[in-house]
Amino acid sequence: MAVNQSQSQSLQQNQAKKIPLFPFASIICFVSIFLLLSSIRNTTSIPSHSHHPSIQFPKTNGLSNPGASPESCDYSDGNWIRDPVGASPRYDHTCKEIFKGWNCISGNKSNGRDLINWRWKPAHCELPPFDPTAFLHAYRDTAIGFVGDSLNRNMFVSLFCSLKRVSNDVKKWRPAGADRGFTFLRYNLTIAYHRTNLLARYGRWSANANGGALESLGYKEGYRVDVDIPEGTWENALTFHDILIFNTGHWWWAPSKFDPVKSPMLFFERAQPVIPPVSPEAGLDMVLKHMVKYIENRTRPGTIKFFRTQSPRHFEGGDWDQGGACPRLKPLLPEQVETLFSLNNNGTNVEARLVNQHLFKALERSCFNSS
Ligand SMILES: *[C@@H]1O[C@H](CO)[C@@H](O)[C@H](O)[C@H]1NC(C)=O
Ligand SMILES: *[C@@H]1O[C@H](CO)[C@@H](O)[C@H](O)[C@H]1NC(C)=O
Ligand SMILES: *[C@@H]1O[C@H](CO)[C@@H](O)[C@H](O)[C@H]1NC(C)=O
Ligand SMILES: *[C@@H]1O[C@H](CO)[C@@H](O)[C@H](O)[C@H]1NC(C)=O
């Protein structure tokens, strides 16, 4: 991965490259969201741009009962199994939409080609393989937007590459301010990726010579985060898409992104600095509160909304430019999952669980479809 840094201006772009995904976890998220979407289409008819019925998925509590119907299955309870026969590749490294730094096969990762031999097996039900043709039929005349950081971009790429394999006739464009987007012309299905790291708008902040509340506390440099203003990249996505998938997470706890000393996050509400300044953790809660309200207010009735939880970072033992590596060749065993994520052990990916806890709290009683 390139290590050229032309400082502040390209910072956002460069940093987006630093947090690729651990592929296995992203696949779980991918399959579970699309499986849920498939079950929506099977059980409810959704006109593309009128009033969708509100759809609630049964809450899963981790206690799956054997023989449960797919609708009540906890898809997150399961294992990766090796299944070289069952795993036919949905796409490969030649799909142009895959970002160069995340292309395991082209990047010569030793097990790049072996990854597709693993399949997620829920403990108490079956997860049928993703069927791109059926998906295109089911989501005719629909627009699907992914709004978030690189985790969501990878999910968007995975969906695009899977569909492109069976339907070549695509128009590339940038609907509603999207970073990237495509319409599958034969089906009039549009999918788009709206890049945003924090959901809220943010940018460089430096002390004003005339002083101010933050200046008087000694702040010189930082990032201004407006907790009540959505980043412009997705503002217009809300009325454009029929289905929205949001995420945010790793950027909130990563000192390499917002150095707590040299360039802290400084939160603003109604254009005024929050005084006394609050931690990123408290800032995340403020942003989620405002953004969830904003989304509820702006989307058309019937828009299907997911907030996906956090999957692990790509690197262990440091960030990508600090000796970090992605040495794993096999999916994690259950006990390794604990080492990597546990709050008690301060695991490498401890922020994934922290972020998820904040998300669950913010989404309780919200309009989001639960899964
Ligand atoms: C991967 O290996 C091939 C063949 O050895 C080589 O030509 C290519 O430059 C390598 N790619 C990277 C990104 O290292
Ligand atoms: C294509 O799909 C969009 C929804 O994404 C819809 O608004 C539009 O009317 C559709 N176009 C046609 C020609 O059906
Ligand atoms: C909802 O959105 C409208 C504009 O679409 C705005 O005028 C109104 O203030 C918003 N309400 C809330 C509670 O955000
Ligand atoms: C957890 O680990 C990080 C980095 O490895 C370190 O900076 C932090 O102080 C640790 N926190 C605790 C509570 O041990």
pLDDT tens per residue, range 162-185: 999 999 999 999 999 999 999 999
Separation of alpha carbons 233 and 63, rounded Å: 39
pLDDT tens sequence across 110-139: 888 888 888 889 999 998 889 999 999 999
Distances 162 to 33, 94, 322 between C-alpha atoms, Å: 15, 12, 34
What pLDDT, on the 0 to 100 scale, is given for residue 329?
86
Q: How confident is the model at residue 6 (pLDDT cuts 50, 70, 90)?
A: very low
Q: Cα–Cα–Cα angle for 222, 226, 227, nearest 5°? A: 120
Query: Is residue 213 pLDDT above 50, yes or no?
Result: yes
Kindly list the protein residues whose Cβ atom lies closer than 6 A to any atom of ligand 3: 293, 297
Q: What is the torsion angle, in degrees rounded to the nearest 10, for the CA atoms of residue 79, residue 85, residue 87 and residue 88?
A: 180
Separation of alpha carbons 147 and 60, rounded Å: 24
| Cα-to-centroid distance, 346 and ligand 4 (Å) | 6
Separation of alpha carbons 243 and 302, rounded Å: 9
What pLDDT, on the 0 to 100 scale, is given for residue 2?
30
Q: How confident is the model at residue 324 (pLDDT cuts 50, 70, 90)?
A: confident
Query: Is residue 19 pLDDT above 60, yes or no?
Result: no
Nearest CA, atom 4, ligand 3:
298
Nearest CA, atom 9, ligand 2:
141
Across residues 178-202, what is the average pLDDT?
Answer: 98
Residue 279: CB atoms within 10 A of its CB come to 13
What pLDDT, on the 0 to 100 scale, is given for residue 320?
66
> Which among 49, 50, 187, 244 is the best mutation to test ligand 2's pocket, defined by most ligand atoms within 8 Å of the CB?
49
Across residues 244-262, what is the average pLDDT?
Answer: 87
Q: How confident is the model at residue 25 (pLDDT cuts 50, 70, 90)?
A: very low
Assigned token pair, 369: 């479809």
Cis peptide leading into residue 47 (ω within 30°): no
3-state secondary structure the chain: CCCCCCCHHHHHHHHHHHCCECHHHHHHHHHHHHHHHHHHHHHCCCCCCCCCCCCCCCCCCCCCCCCCCHHHCCCCCEEEEECCCCCCCCCCCCCCCCCHHHCCCCCCCCCHHHHHHEEEEECCCCCCCCCHHHHHHHCCCEEEEEEECHHHHHHHHHHHHHHHCCCCCEEECCHHHCCEEEEECCCCEEEEEEECCCCEEEEEEECCCCCCHHHHCCCCEEEEEEEEEECHHHHCHHHHCCEEEECCCHHHCCCCCCCCCCCCEEEEECCEECCCCCCHHHHHHHHHHHHHHHHHHHCCCCCEEEECCCCCECCECCCCCCCCECCCCCCCCHHHHHHHHCCCCCCCCHHHHHHHHHHHHHHCCCCCCCC
What pLDDT, on the 0 to 100 scale, is given for residue 350?
80
> How crowded is the C-beta side of 41, counted as CA atoms within 13 Å?
17
Separation of alpha carbons 197 and 287, rounded Å: 12
User: Is 0.75 surpassed by the pTM of this model?
Assistant: yes
> Which among 269, 297, 366 is the best mutation to test ligand 3's pocket, defined by most ligand atoms within 8 Å of the CB?
297
Q: Nearest-CA neighbor of 196 among 287, 274, 273, 268?
A: 287
What is the identity of the amino acid at 344? Answer: N
Lowest-confidence range among 235-239, 300-304, 314-318, 324-328?
Answer: 314-318
Give the ligand 2 atom nearest the CA of 240: 5
Separation of alpha carbons 256 and 254, rounded Å: 5
Give the ligand 3 atom nearest the CA of 297: 1
Separation of alpha carbons 98 and 180, rounded Å: 12
Percent with pLDDT over 70 in the chain: 78
What pLDDT, on the 0 to 100 scale, is given for residue 28?
42
pLDDT tens sequence across 331-349: 888 788 888 888 887 777 7
Separation of alpha carbons 127 and 360, rounded Å: 25
Partner residues linked to 273 by β-bridges? 268
Partner residues linked to 194 by β-bridges? 147
3-state secondary structure 279-298: CHHHHHHHHHHHHHHHHHHH
Lowest-confidence range among 24-28, 49-53, 170-174, 315-319?
Answer: 49-53
Query: Is residue 367 pLDDT above 90, yes or no?
Result: no
Percent with pLDDT over 90 in the chain: 49
Give the ligand 2 atom nearest the CA of 190: 5
Nearest CA, atom 2, ligand 1:
108
> Which among 103, 106, 108 is the best mutation to test ligand 1's pocket, defined by most ligand atoms within 8 Å of the CB?
108
What pLDDT, on the 0 to 100 scale, is given for residue 34?
53
Query: Is residue 218 pLDDT above 60, yes or no?
Result: yes
Ligand sitting nearest the alpha carbon of 349 = 4
Residues in the chain: 371
Q: Nearest-CA neighbor of 8 among 324, 230, 226, 259?
A: 259
| Cα-to-centroid distance, 298 and ligand 3 (Å) | 7
